Amino acid sequence: MKAVIQSSFEGITALKLRDILEPHMSAMSVLIKNRYTPVIPWDWLSEEGQLQNFNPVKLPRIIGYSFGGIVEKVGALRNQKLLGKKVFGFNPQGTHTQLINSQIPPLLIEVPTKVSLEDATTIIGGADAALLAVKQSKIRPNDIVLVTGATGGVGSYLIQLLKLMKTMVIAFTRKENYSFAQNLGADYIIDFTQDIKHQLQLVPKPNKIIDTAGSVPLLDTISHNYEKLTIFSLSLPKYKPINSIQTFSFSNKSIGIKGYQQLLSMLENKQISASINQILPFQEVIQAQQIAKFRPSQGRILLEY
């Protein structure tokens, strides 16, 4: 079978497609025919070696963190009812491969009939991070929340969750994403490539920032314009606010099984929707990562197997 292999820290273009052995089944195995993997910043940051202090990896390795697929075989000690079912989940051994051997039960979640596998695959590294941000920021109705990276795989879910909480949303994105951000529910939109200070004068004063972009210069520029602010980041473990009365926090912890069930239910009930930019063959992984990294983002890119 084919897999996408990282054998150096030379970045996206060093990725290789290789033939590897099919996984060996055990009593704890669930063998999944992979259908989709999301393209997320975690991928190329790992490929560039930027996460080695935070999440060290040994090379060579199969890249990828999460997946969506169909269960083909079930080991004797696993739930036999999973056979033939749509599932999504994590795999510590990598996910950019045609077959996945899932051996840790909590990391595999069944997808409801009314939720597409494509949509479910956008949850990990997307909707889950957005839900975590809402909880960690202690969002309340009538908060005015400024969101950086507002139209990406996380931000596109975050805007929807914030609007369900009856907050006002100021979305930071590019001009070409204005209509997309409006359709998600953003109340105000700021083009971060233009004069930010002037644009901030034209919108209500935010009391909270949720950062999905991870840009220190951008946060500095924003926070210079305000006194009191509560800043939460999904991308920067450390940041020193400009003003002493501004607070900063970071988290990347799990939302737990209940959190994932909540998000599946919200997708099933049409309370939120997945934003899929495009779906490319997994053989085009280099192109897909370059698009996600360098071009204006509207939701998540998926690879298809």
Per-residue pLDDT of 236-257, as tens digits, reads 999 999 999 999 999 999 999 9
Instruction: State the pLDDT at residue 39.
Output: 98
- Give the CATH H-level superfamily of domain 125-250: NAD(P)-binding Rossmann-like Domain (3.40.50.720)
Per-residue pLDDT of 142-153, as tens digits, reads 999 999 999 999
Task: Return the structure tokens found at 112.
Answer: 């409801």
Instruction: State the pLDDT at residue 170.
Output: 99
Query: If pLDDT is split at 50, 70 and 90, which confidence band does 196 have?
Result: very high
Amino acid in position 118:
E
Give buried/exposed letters for 114-124 (b at 16+ CB in 10 A, else e).
ebbbbbbbbbb
Per-residue pLDDT of 11-63, as tens digits, reads 999 999 999 999 999 999 999 999 999 999 999 999 999 999 888 999 999 99
Instruction: State the pLDDT at residue 153.
Output: 98
Partners of 114 in beta bridges: none
Instruction: State the pLDDT at residue 275.
Output: 98
Domain boundaries of the chain, sorted by first residue? 2-122+274-304, 125-250
Q: Stretch 61-66: mean pLDDT, rounded? A: 97
Instruction: State the pLDDT at residue 219.
Output: 98
- Give which of 242, 238, 218 is closest to 229, Cα–Cα: 242
Q: Stretch 206-231: mean pLDDT, rounded? A: 97
Instruction: State the pLDDT at residue 106.
Output: 86
On whether the 2-122+274-304 domain is CATH 3.90.180.10, my answer is: yes
Q: Would you tell me the crossing angle of helices 128-136 and 155-164 to the nearest 10 degrees?
A: 50
Instruction: State the pLDDT at residue 12.
Output: 98
Residue 60: cis peptide before it, omega within 30 degrees of 0: yes
Instruction: State the pLDDT at residue 297.
Output: 87
